[in-house]
Amino acid sequence: MTNRIPLLRLPDNAIERVLRHIGELETVAFSLLSNRTKQFVESMNLECSIIAIYIEDDFKVRVVPTVRSLNFEFKDYQVSIDNPSPQNIETKVSMDDYEFTYRRPGYRFEEWMSHILEIFQARSILDFKKKLPDLKSFRKCLDSYRVMSISEDLNTIDIREILKLFSVQKELVLGSNPFSNKIECNPFLHEVYIQNYDMLYLVEWTKIEVDDLLTMNAKFLQIECPIITERDMNRFIKHWMAGSNPRLEHLDISFHDGRVWENRVWDMNALLRGIEHQVIPDGYVRRLPDYITASGEYEYIRGGYDFHRKDGTRSYSSA
């Protein structure tokens, strides 16, 4: 018969060595035993790529410490406006085909979020699939987050309310345009556009105008939009050459009407009218720096057009 070893009676360095050889699910279970076990896990400085928080019908938090995902599911969070964050909330923790359900005395969703964020070191991503009844209490759970995505399923009023409460630090993805009424939304629209985003991704935007582009302050700007003219892009390029949008490193405009991708080809004569540029032969292939591609991978362009802004910065244009 194998003798059991009382783990918590071992020296601290031995306990940490054991913890580094067990799986992520077991590590989470160990951290829930007591404040002491939680401190052990915190001291390991466990790193993971992301902590994704999915605001949907079955509220989920996904932690990605390795190639596998560790999931926390909170079915009773913000179900009732009268009791949005119940005590002793039931939480299902799962990875692959393994799971356990746990109620920790005194733990509400807020304590669970604090626990997760303290034992794992990662950037957080918010993904709003729906609007919560009590957004303000949810906002208090999060000290910081890097990325926020808002689904096209939300109405414009809900999207604006989320944007007002949750300022974005690095990346914002908007699934639909909550600013279609520009007269009504102009001050708030300007406030959103001028943020120093690393990436701003506008999905299924109905129309983009020159003034919109000139206001945006992102490094990486990606827009799906069926309506933008060569004349407007010509004006934008001239403004950029004169010094506008100093942070912009990559602009990607796709033509999409919400249902299909349009096989539209730019009229480059109209687009570059009055702009000093150099035509690059189609046989010449260039690699774009990986830090300006959305996927973080290398991207290549064949041929295209080069032009420079007044400070000497070169731009590659590919239709």
pLDDT score, position 44: 86
pLDDT per residue as tens digits for the range 138-147: 888 887 788 9
Q: What's the mean pLDDT in 23-32? A: 87
User: Is the predicted pLDDT of residue 234 greater than 90, yes or no?
Assistant: yes
Q: CB-hemisphere CA count at 13 Å for 260? A: 3
pLDDT score, position 209: 85
User: Is the predicted pLDDT of residue 260 greater than 70, yes or no?
Assistant: no
DSSP output for 11-66 = -HHHHHHHHTTS-HHHHHHHHTS-HHHHHHHHHTTEEEEEEEEEESSSEEEEEESS
Helix (H, G, I), strand (E, B) or coil at 292: helix
List the Cα angle 170/304/300 in 5-degree steps: 55
Q: What's the mean pLDDT in 221-231? A: 84
**CA pair distance 226, 101, nearest whole angstrom:** 47
Q: What percent of the chain has a predicted confidence (pLDDT) above 70? A: 90
Higher pLDDT, 180 or 14: 14
The encoded tokens of residue 273 equal 């009218």
**CA pair distance 48, 53, nearest whole angstrom:** 14
Helix (H, G, I), strand (E, B) or coil at 100: strand
**CA pair distance 33, 104, nearest whole angstrom:** 9
pLDDT score, position 184: 64
Band of the pLDDT at 182, cuts 50, 70, 90? Answer: low
Residue type, 272: L
Higher pLDDT, 239 or 75: 239
Contact between 99 and 23 under an 8 Å Cβ cutoff? The reply is no
Q: Return mean pLDDT, the chain.
A: 83
Q: What's the mean pLDDT in 204-215? A: 85
Query: Helix axis angle, 12-19 relative to 35-43, nearest 10°?
Result: 70
Band of the pLDDT at 193, cuts 50, 70, 90? Answer: confident
Helix (H, G, I), strand (E, B) or coil at 267: coil
Residue type, 212: D
pLDDT score, position 156: 85
Compute CA distances 126 → 172, 266, 305, 313, whole Å.
Answer: 10, 35, 38, 34
Provide long-range contacts, Cβ within 8 A and 24+ apart, for 84-93.
84/132, 84/133, 84/134, 84/137, 85/109, 85/110, 85/134, 85/137, 93/25, 93/28, 93/29
Q: Which of 97-101, 166-170, 295-299, 313-317 has the lowest mean pLDDT?
A: 295-299
pLDDT score, position 243: 92
The encoded tokens of residue 137 equal 């209490």
pLDDT score, position 127: 92
pLDDT per residue as tens digits for the range 63-117: 887 667 889 998 888 877 777 788 888 889 888 888 888 888 888 888 898 898 8
Higher pLDDT, 100 or 169: 100
